[in-house]
Amino acid sequence: MEMRSHLGRVRGLGSSNDGVHHWWLQRITGVALVPLTIWFIVSAVSLAGADLEQFRSWVGAHANPVLLCLLIFTMFHHGQLGLQVVIEDYVHSETTKLLLLIVTKFTAILFGGYSIFAVLRLTFGG
């Protein structure tokens, strides 16, 4: 017999203790990536064979630095959320799983942070 109240069960947020937070973030980042990705493909196509000067002026122009930073942030966020699910589904050793999850998250933060910093540098010079 279930001894817990409905409220108590909802507050516990299920077996992950996290409710639908992960699932919801994956959808929201996915929705945000639809326009960002389309914008990026159009831009990347025009940058085929560009040199540094052309690249720099594209990165710094108008809303481009903002969109590029948002793309990088959302892409790495969405990517690490997805890889987390794949790892949790297929890796059954607790140690390997934990290690892979940490590597995934650290890599996403490192490359995401570094490339956003690179965009700011290219925009503001230095």
Partner 1 sequence: MATRKRPLSPHLQIYSPQITSVLSILHRITGVILAFGALLLANWVISATYGADSFALAQDLLGSWFGRLILFGLTLALYFHLGNGIRHLAWDMGRGFSLPQVRTSGLFVIAFTLVMTVMTWIAAYSAAGDF
> Measured from the CB of residue 64, what is the shortest distance to partner 1 in angstroms?
12
CB atoms within 10 A of CB 15: 6
Q: Which residues bind partner 1 (CB under 8 A)?
A: 27, 30-31, 33-34, 37, 41, 44-46, 48-53, 55-56, 59, 68, 72, 75-76, 79-80, 82-83, 86, 107, 111-112, 114-115, 118-119, 121-122
Closer CB to partner 1, 56 or 97, in the complex? 56
Closer CB to partner 1, 4 or 110, in the complex? 110
CA-CA distance, 38 to 43, in Å (whole number)? Answer: 9
CA-CA distance, 97 to 91, in Å (whole number)? Answer: 6
Three-state secondary-structure class, residue 9:
helix
Burial class (CB in 10 A: 0-12, 13-18, 19+), 106: exposed
> Measured from the CB of residue 18, what is the shortest distance to partner 1 in angstroms?
18
> Measured from the CB of residue 79, what is the shortest distance to partner 1 in angstroms?
4
> Measured from the CB of residue 25, what is the shortest distance to partner 1 in angstroms?
13
